Structure 1
C-alpha cells in the first residue's frame, strides 16, 4: 500500500543557487544536506508538510544524475512514493507488466529499501518506491 509522497527529487547544478528560490523566495527551510557518494550526489532536504523536496547536485561527472543534468538540464528527476511493503508493491507491479529498473529492493541509508520503476511504464515519470526501516 502506498502511504505517502516521501519526496520529489529535483536536479540542480548547484545547491546555493537553487536555494535562492526555494529558501529565499519561497521561504522553505533547508533542514540538512547529505553527501551520497554511491549515487554521486549531494542532497539538500527541504521539508514541505510531511514530505520533502530534495535538491540533488551531482558531485561527479559520470553519475546518472550528472548525465541527466547534462542531457535534460535542471528539473524534476523523480517522484518517491513511500510504501508499507516494497516487495509486495514490486510483485503487484510485475503482475501488471510494469517495467522495474531494480528487480530487487536496494539497501539505502539507515536500512531503508528502495527501487525504481521505469518511466516507460509510468507515462514518462521516474518513480521511486521507498520503504522506511521502521516498518
Structure 2
C-alpha cells in the first residue's frame, strides 16, 4: 500500500469572517484560497501550505452537511483529508474492503480538485476525505 500524505484538517466554523483572524493568530499563516463550493454548501479558506494545512469551512445554507454538523456538535474538527493519486481506484479499494462511502464517485471540491468522503463508521469515528489534485 502506498503512503498517503495528510493534505489538510477541516475545521467547521459558523463564520469565516469571525474565525479566520483567530486561526491566523494561532497558526501565524494568512488565509488564502477563499472560495464558495456551491455543490457542498460551504465557503472555505486555507491556512498554511503543504501537508497538514488547515481548512476552515462555514456553511452557506442550512441544509449543508457542515450546517448539520455545527447544529449537532458545534464548531470543531470536521474531517481529515488525504491526498491520493487516483481517487477512483481508492474508492474501489475502500468499497472492496466493505467500507461505507459517502461518495460513490468523485465530485468537485475546492481549488478544482476531485474529492470523496468515507463515512466515519468505517474510519474509527473520523470523517475522512480523499483528494485527487487537479482532478478535472
Number of paired residues?
135
CA distance in 1, matches of 2:34, 2:91: 29
Unpaired segments of 5 or more residues in structure 1? none
**Cα distance per residue 1:44-80 (max 9 Å; x no partner):** 1111443421101111122111111111100111111
Partner of 1:129: 130
Give structure 2 stretches of 5+ with no counterpart. Answer: none
Give the TM-score of the pair, scaled to structure 2.
0.86
- Mapped to 1, the partners of 2:66 and 2:135 lie a distance apart of 28
Deviation larger for 105-114 or 57-66:
105-114
Number of the residue aligned with 2:38: 37
Cα distance in 2 for residues equivalent to 1:113 and 1:16: 26
Given the alignment of the two structures, is residue 28 of structure 1 paired with residue 47 of structure 2, yes or no? no
Name the SS for the 2:39 alignment partner: coil
Pair 1:95–1:134, CA change in 2 (3 A) = closer
Where in structure 2 are the equivalents of 1:11-90 lying within 5 Å? 11-90=12-91
Q: TM-score, normalized by length of structure 1?
A: 0.87
- The CA distance in 2 between the partners of 1:111 and 1:46, in whole Å, is 17
Cα 1:6–1:25 shift into 2, 3 Å: closer
Q: RMSD of the alignment, in Å?
A: 2.1
The equivalent of 1:105 in structure 2 is 106
User: Does the 8 A contact of 2:43 with 2:60 survive in 1?
Assistant: yes
